[in-house]
A and B are shown apart, each in its own frame.
Chain A
Amino acid sequence: QSALTQPASVSGSPGQSITISCTGTSSDVGGYNSVSWYQQHPGKAPKLMIYDVSNRPSGVSNRFSGSKSGNTASLTISGLQAEDEADYYCSSYTSSITYVFGTGTKVTVL
């Protein structure tokens, strides 16, 4: 199975909004609403930020939001803050009864 495609890097200034895309196929992202997003700071385990395309777990800032259109899911971070600088990964359930991660995106706060 092929990894979902994400941009290698995205940057923005504090207070701005950025969007990270996650492109798959109709056999994964496009076929299911089981798309999730994870934040990973250096040396730390990933942390769930969005599940089922657009739901936020308790404790995650409402500055994080998710959406999906066709085979592409997106994570938007509004009001960018220094603490948001991290790697972000999407993940999707697939028609093969497996899961697949995205290639990862490094977010830099300028």
Chain B
Amino acid sequence: QLQLQESGPGLVKPSETLSLTCTVSGGSISSSSFHWGWIRQPPGKGLEWIGTIHHSGNTYYNPSLKSQITISVDTSKNQFSLKVTSVTAADTAMYYCARYSPGYLDYWGQGTLATVSS
């Protein structure tokens, strides 16, 4: 059974960089059939698509976040990562990683809460 687990610091100071990692187990991140994605959800609000990556390194980002985010993959560790630069309180959210079977998210991590506060 495929499992995804997010990890990263729960608290980040304003203007700093938020770094999160998603570890995939029970399957290979190098499978050509899938992309891997990040989604976030501010407290009490809806889901926001952040971006996706293929094991080849091809990335696709939300245009409204593109200047602030970088998604990368480490196939040797079966992990992919998210960096959000120059964070503000608006970046406080539950961050989920998930697998994209083309067109839909079929496996999700449990989520990790990232809070931006001094």
Contacts and interface: CB of A to CB of B under 8 A. Distances in A.
A in complex with B:
yes
Interface of A: 1, 3, 32-34, 36, 38, 40, 45-48, 51-52, 57, 89, 91, 93, 96-104
B108 A46 contact: yes
A100 B49 contact: yes
A100 B50 CA distance: 9
A40 to B, nearest CB: 8
Q: Closest 6 A-B residue pairs measured CB to CB? A: A34-B103, A36-B104, A51-B104, A104-B46, A45-B108, A101-B47
A3 B64 contact: no
Contact of B104 (A40, A45, A91, A96): A91
Q: Is the interface of B mostly helix, strand, loop or mixed?
A: strand
Contact of B105 (A48, A98, A100, A102): A48
Contact of B62 (A38, A46, A98): A98
Given A45-B110, A52-B104, 16 more contacts: A1-B64, A32-B103, A36-B104, A45-B108, A48-B106, A51-B104, A52-B103, A93-B103, A98-B49, A98-B51, A98-B61, A99-B52, A100-B49, A101-B46, A101-B47, A104-B46
Interface residues of B, number: 24
Contacts of B62: 1, 98
16 contacts: A33-B103, A38-B105, A45-B96, A45-B108, A45-B110, A46-B47, A46-B96, A51-B103, A57-B106, A91-B47, A91-B49, A96-B63, A98-B60, A98-B61, A101-B39, A101-B47
